Amino acid sequence: MAEPFELAVVTGGAGFVGAHLCSALLAAGTEVVAVDNLVTSATGALDSVRDHPRFRFVEHDVTTPFSLPTMADVVFHLASAASPRDYLALPIETLRAGSLGTEHALDFARAAGARFVLASTSEVYGDPAEHPQTESYWGNVNPVGPRSVYDEAKRYAEAITVAYRGKHGLNTGIARIFNTYGPGMRPDDGRMIPTFLRQASVGEPLTVTGSGEQTRSICYVTDTVRGLVALAHSDHPGPVNIGNPHELRVRDLADLIRTITGSSSTIEYVDAAEDDPQRRCPDISLAREALGWRPRVAPDEGIRLTAKWFSRAE
Ligand code: NAD
Ligand code: UDP
């Protein structure tokens, strides 16, 4: 086990993944500063850590520069809308978070003497023409499609991270995170798992888009967080895929959720989303070799844990 970091800064720390990351870092003995403007956070996301003596929350929009009166070992840059529903509603804000926000987080990491870890995404692969996706694949992104505000922002974020490494010698790492789910997601964030769980719980039809043949590979949040922390502890520049290679058709995921929740909901096929990636599955050989990381939570177990949390949260 690596020594815990003394101090970590987490932008987007009040978000779904960010709040889990803050909890994991605190549990490991790290002092944590979360920086977030709360634009897509769940109410109460930080309730379990807010009063922790080693936790501090700073409300700030990272698209304007920031400084904190502290050095840091690591900056995790997660601040960005992530759900398609959110980033389609916040197109300019999402581009600004990925561009200006990443630049300011890099500047802060440089000033603080910290390693910088970027939360990038499998969306940089767009609708991939290669399968499974390795980090060497350059992607297939429509630069003027609706998803481009997110995809291109993250591609730019990766590019500027690499530029700071080359130009300023900043210690950086890039994680390409694949669909992550778990307790703490907003039931109304529009992503498939919270949507299907909410629909199953009230007996509404589960709204599967298109044919439902499109696939995703879903990673339980504690696994994703372990991957981010492992990347932070390494000196690997990435990009490194962090995801669960267990690939599922969206219609099969809807069925799994109906089975696990014992719901009598039907499945309703609705219009396909524009530019929806048809297949997504990470090749995680690099994460296994370079970080000694692999996911531990199988989809049925993770969905069970998430369903349990959702039923309690309602
Ligand atoms: P989320 O929307 O729950 O959290 C994002 C957080 O960033 C929110 O708390 C939001 O308020 C904050 N934020 C957004 N813009 C900001 C700004 N300008 N200044 C300060 N804070 C800002 O999303 P999430 O699922 O927790 O995703 C976290 C990160 O991981 C994102 O960068 C996302 O792109 C990346 N990621 C997530 C997934 C996933 O499946 N959850 C997959 C790939 C990548
Ligand atoms: N999806 C769906 N029903 C919903 C929400 C999403 O069938 O209510 C589909 C969506 O079109 C996509 C997949 O589920 O094919 C994953 O969507 P999500 O928004 O969770 O993540 P992303 O598209 O970013 O991978």
CATH number of 7-309, picked from 1.10.3720.10, 3.30.200.20, 3.40.50.720, 3.40.190.10: 3.40.50.720
> What is the separation, in whole angstroms, between the first and last Cα of the chain?
37
Between 102 and 43, residue with greater pLDDT: 102
Identify the pLDDT of residue 314.
Answer: 60
pTM, whole model, 2 decimals?
A: 0.98
Identify the pLDDT of residue 70.
Answer: 83
For residue 248, list its beta bridge partners: 216
CA of 24 to the centre of ligand 1 (A): 17
Identify the pLDDT of residue 2.
Answer: 78
268-306 pLDDT tens trace: 999 999 999 999 999 999 999 999 999 999 999 999 999
What residues are annotated to the active site? Answer: 150
CA of 78 to the centre of ligand 1 (A): 5
- Find the ligand nearest to 243 CA: 1
Q: Name, in order, each residue with C-beta under 8 angstroms of 201's C-beta and a sequence gap of 6 or more.
A: 261, 263, 310, 311, 314
Sorted by where each begins, the domain ranges of the chain are 7-309
SS3 112: helix
Q: Which residue's CA is minimally distant from atom 3 of ligand 2?
A: 208
What is the ipTM score, two decimals? Answer: 0.99
Q: Is the pLDDT of residue 117 over 70?
A: yes
Determine the average pLDDT of the residues in 232-244: 98
CA of 262 to the centre of ligand 1 (A): 31
C-alpha to C-alpha distance for 218 and 204, rounded to whole angstroms: 23
Among 9, 10, 16, which residue has the most ligand 1 atoms within 8 Å of its CB, making it the best to mutate? 16
Return the half-sphere exposure (C-beta side, CA atoms, 13 A cut-off) of residue 300.
Answer: 6
Record the tokens describing residue 161, joined without a space. 């991270």
Identify the pLDDT of residue 208.
Answer: 98
Determine the average pLDDT of the residues in 208-222: 98
Closest residue by Cα to residue 37 from 17, 18, 64, 12: 12
